[in-house]
Amino acid sequence: MTAKNWFLLILFLLLVFIVRLRMTTQSRFLPGTRIKITAVLKEEPKIVGQIQRFSLSGIKIKTWRYPEYHYGDGLELVGIINSKMEIEKIEEIRLTEKNKSFMGLIFAFRRRIEEVYRRVLPEPQASLLAGIVLGSKSGMPQDFYQDLRQTGMLHVVVASGMNVTIVAATTVDLLLLFLSRRLAILFAFIMIWFYVLLAGADAPVLRAGVMGTLAFLAQGLGRLKDAWRGLGVAAVFLLLLNPRNLFDLGFQLSFVATAGILFLGPIISNFLKRVPGQVRADISQTLGAQIATLPLILITFGSYSPLSPLVNILVVPILPWLMRLGGLIGLVGLVLLPLGQILGWFILPFLTYFVEMVKLFTRG
C-alpha cells in the first residue's frame, strides 16, 4: 500500500472515530431530569467487595452488591440525572428468558466455574484463581483487592494477552496430536473468541483476542507475526467499536503495557543475558509493562509502590501454570467435583504462596 493510500485510510478512520465519539458522548438528558429506564442488562456486572458496576442503556450504574444482577436480567431503574445519577430504585422485572440467549449461557457457564473454585478452595485463593483464569473479581474480599492494587498486582486478575496465548497454544498443542496444523489453528481461533466472551469481553481481553487471532493467522499462512501491526489493528477495532474506550483506564493501561512489553522488553532482556531463557522473558516483559504504565498510574492514582516490580518478579513466573491448572480444575469440577477437589489440593500451596507474597509486600 502506498503512502497516499495509508494517509487516506488513516484519515477515513479518524473521521469515523470522531463521528462515533460524538454519537456516544452526546447526553440524552438535561441535569435534574428524572428518568425511568426499562431495559435488559447487556453485560455481566463487575463486582468488587460490596459494590457492583454495570451500564444500562448507556448509563453507568454503581450500586450495592445485593441483590446481584446478571446478564439478561430485565431491570427497571428510576433516578435523577445530575453530575452523577442519583438512583432511587432498581427493580428486577421479567423481560426475557435470559438463560436461553447465547451470552446468557456463556455467563451462566462462567458462574458455574466460579462456584467450583469457591467449593474446592478457601478465600482469597478461590477468588484469586477466578481472577487469574476468568478475569473475574466477583466475590473477592475487599481487603485482598486493595492489597493487589497497592502492590501493583491488580493486572493478574484481568484477563489479557497471557490468558489468550495460553488458551490458543494449549488448544493447538493438543489438537496437533490428531489434526493438521491449519485445522488446529482454526479451532484455536474458535477457542480464543469463546474465551474472550467467557472472560467478559472487556478492553484488555478484546485487544488480546484481536492480536492473538492475527498472530495465529500469520502462523497458519506461514508469515511472521507483526506484533506492532496487531496492536494497531486491535486499537482501531476497539475504538471504532466504542470510541469511549479511549478514555477508559483499563483500555489505556492494556495498550500502554503491551507497547512497553514490545518496546522495552527486548532492551531489558539484553541486560539479563545470563538469566535462564523463560525467567529472563518473564522478568523483561514484567518490567517493560511496569515502566511503561508508571506515568499513567502516577497521573491517575498519585502513588506507586516501588516494590511492585519485585513482587511481580516473584509471582509472575507461576501465573501460566496457575492458569492451566485452574482451567482444568474448573472443567473437571463441573463434571466430577470430588476430582476437582483433589486437583484443588495441588494448586492450593501455589495460590497461598501468591497470597502471602502480596500480603508481605503490603505490610512492607
Most confident option among 36-45, 118-127, 286-295: 118-127
> What is the residue extent of each domain of the chain?
34-98, 106-363
pLDDT reported for residue 342: 92
Q: All 3 cell numbers of residue 7?
A: 494517509
Local structure of 8: helix, strand or coil:
helix
Provide mean pLDDT across the span 267-290.
72
Q: All 3 cell numbers of residue 58?
A: 448507556
Is pTM beyond 0.85 here? no
188-246 confidence digits (pLDDT tens): 888 888 988 888 777 778 877 887 777 766 655 555 456 677 777 777 777 777 777 77
pLDDT reported for residue 3: 55
54-77 confidence digits (pLDDT tens): 777 667 777 777 777 777 777 777
Fold of 34-98: OB fold (Dihydrolipoamide Acetyltransferase, E2P) (2.40.50)
CA angle, 169 as apex, 165 and 173 as ends, to 5°?
170
* 249-270 helix and 203-220 helix, angle to the nearest 10 degrees: 50
pLDDT reported for residue 99: 47
Q: All 3 cell numbers of residue 29?
A: 438528558
Range of weakest confidence among 116-125, 259-268, 283-292: 283-292
